[in-house]
Amino acid sequence: MKLFGRNRSYSNEITAEHSGEPVSIAGWVHEKRDLGGLFFLLVRDREGLAQVTLHKREVDRELFEQARKVPRESVVAIDGIIKGEPKAPGGYELLPKRIEVLSVASYDLPLDPTGKVGAELDTRLDARFMDLRSERTKHIFIIRSQVLKAIRDFLNERGFIEINTPKIVSAATEGGTALFPISYFEREAFLNQSPQLYKQMLIASGFDKVFEIAPIFRAEEHDTTKHLNEAMSVDIEVAFVSAEEVMRILEELIAFVYSKVALYPGLDSVTTQLEVPKIPFQRIRYDEAIELLADAGEPIEWGDDLSTSAEHKLGARIGAHYFITEWPRAIKPFYAQPIEDKETTNAFDLMHPRLELASGSQRVHSYELLKQNIESKGLSAASFAFYLDAFRYGMPPHAGWGLGVERLLMSMLGIENVREVVLFPRDRRRLVP
RNA sequence: GCCCGGGUGGUGUAGCGGCCUAUCAUUGAGCCCUGUCGAGGCUCGGACUCGGGUUCAAAUCCCGACCUGGGCGCCA
């Protein structure tokens, strides 16, 4: 096979100025248009489409028939001559010398990559490999890649150290959510719900600014457009700062990511309504939120978490990203720093008008207070010894947050279902592919 | 976990007791066509999730299973 010696060009690298030059392309047969004496083969690669044109009278009968017979979505490598042609899409076409069919596609495609006939999300997820051949889906995942890059660039630029903490953990957990049990040799273990305890332990190490981008696992049987059982979380933890400082990092990061994505050329095929949010984001205290909601006819008892419709009402009222701060102790985890003489904590949630994106807090760094907090939540301090020990030998004050990557993406791109922004989502029902 | 929808050719759909030998689009096969760009025209092929029940008659009504969409709760 000559293939590997070939100098392959992407479809967008070829222009009319190269007219007359030989070129090799490779990709998938996107569409065929048979006009009788004239035949067009549209070949798709990662960067776009190239039109291959065959004049019946001017090419070998064999080559003409080969082009006519190759099934859609087959993989081909084509050698030919570039011809500038104003009538062709992209201003050029390819007059083929040789068509190599590298892989013949079966004709009963599970979905239509040209997008002429729609498909339900479930069908698309079953055939994700093919769904990714469509413009919109492809761009969603390139944007996802760029979002992750932007986050890394941003945090690296600010002196953060990227860490990796274990995803297989023993039972001790911050509580709140259900865990997936797994078999770990002769013991039971669990998939980690978040890197929280480990990233805090790293603060005691002297790595005073850390971040992790990694999966988190939640065994909740929720079955909604906003929840996944395996999600990607961006977590940071910073020493010697307060909640306000990590909130600033968070809003700057969000604005930075939006500004990067806004520049992405393929954005239009996903959304036309991306606007870089203005910072700083509005901060409202939990008790102010409760008051606003009472006015809006959505009474919430002080001390209760906000319901979905309460989140939506507040979001509609504010109409932009905002922080809710100073949450009651009872609904925040043991590591959230209580505010002296109050029933509240220095914890915050970052909200998008449609959904919650992140939550964080000033952390408890006193060993005694932390131990007391763990016990008052009904947990056993003994099983947290590995974590608590890090607070006994010099733990600086610190703060941090966790941000859901999928929620950031869906809210940024105006996508309704979180499964759309995960290649192979894991939810209550879906374990395959 | 609770509540409400839905499963019809490969894909997306219409039909919701007899007029169904099941609609339309797209895909596929074949034919016509030398500038298509959601090409066009003609011909053909291809489907009622499964099991039980009601009825003279079931894609259509009822029950169960499986799959699935949405809302709420929980949760991030």
User: For position A273, what pLDDT does the model report?
Assistant: 84
pLDDT for the residue numbered A383: 87
CB-CB neighbours of A99 under 10 Å: 21
Q: Give the pLDDT of residue A428.
A: 84
Both tokens of A303, joined, read 């001390």
- The answer to whether some atom of strand B lies closer than 7 Å to the beta carbon of A95 is no
| Cα–chain center distance at A44 | 25
Decide if pLDDT at A6 tops 70. Answer: no
CA distances from A358 to A247, A260, A301, A323, A349 (A): 10, 20, 23, 9, 6
Q: Give the Cα separation of A139 and A155 in Å (integer).
A: 24
Q: Please tell me the least confidently modeled range out of A149-163, A308-322, A399-413.
A: A308-322
Task: Answer whether residue A1 shows pLDDT above 60.
Answer: no
Q: Is the CB of A149 under 7 A from strand B?
A: no
Dmax (CA) for chain A in angstroms is 90
Q: Which nucleotide is nearest to A193 (CA to C1')?
A: B76
Distance, in Å, from the CA atom of A84 to the CA atom of A93, rounded to the nearest integer, reads 6
Q: Could you read off the pLDDT of A229-254 as tens digits, one per residue?
A: 999 999 999 999 999 999 999 999 99
Q: Which residue has the tokens 């959904």?
A: A355
Closest nt to residue A121, judged CA to C1': B69
Name the band, by pLDDT with cuts 50, 70 and 90, for residue A199: very high
Contact between residue A368 and residue A393 where contact means Cβ atoms under 8 Å apart: no
Of A30 and A379, the structure prediction assigns the larger pLDDT to A30
Percent pLDDT > 90 in chain A is 72
pLDDT above 70: percentage of residues in chain A: 98
A137 CA from B8 C1′ (Å): 28
CA-to-C1' span, A123 to B17 (A):
32
**pLDDT-based confidence at residue A4 (cuts at 50, 70, 90):** low
Query: pLDDT grade, residue A378 (50/70/90)?
Result: confident
pLDDT of amino acid A118: 85
- Specify the pLDDT at position A433: 86
Chain B bases having any atom below 7 Å from a protein CB: 1-2, 10-13, 25-29, 32-40, 67-76
> Residue A5's pLDDT band (boundaries 50, 70, 90)?
low
Protein residue closest to B68, using CA and C1': A122
* pLDDT at position A371 over 90: yes
CA to C1' distance (Å), from A124 to B22? 27
A192 CB less than 7 Å from any atom of strand B: no
Cβ atoms of A347 and A243 within 8 Å: the answer is yes
Encode chain A in three state secondary structure. CCHHHCCECCHHHCCHHHCCCEEEEEEEEEEEEECCCEEEEEEEECCEEEEEEEECCCCCHHHHHHHHHCCCCCEEEEEEEEEECCCCHHHEEEEEEEEEEEECCCCCCCCCCCCCCCCCHHHHHHCHHHHCCCHHHHHHHHHHHHHHHHHHHHHHHCCCEECCCCCEECCCCCCCCCCCEEEECCEEEEECCCCHHHHHHHHCCCCCEEEEEEEEECCCCCCCCCCCCEEEEEEEEEECCCHHHHHHHHHHHHHHHHHHHHCCHHHHHCCCCCCCCCCCCEEEEHHHHHHHHHHCCCCCCCCCCCCHHHHHHHHHHHCCCEEEECCEHHHCCCCECECCCCCEECEEEEECCCCEEEEEEEECCCHHHHHHHHHHCCCCHHHHHHHHHHHCCCCCCEEEEEEEHHHHHHHHHCCCCHHHHCCCCCCCCCCCC
ipTM of the shown complex: 0.89
**Closest protein CA to C1' of nucleotide B2, residue:** A222
pLDDT at A407 exceeding the cut of 70: yes
pLDDT at A380 over 90: no
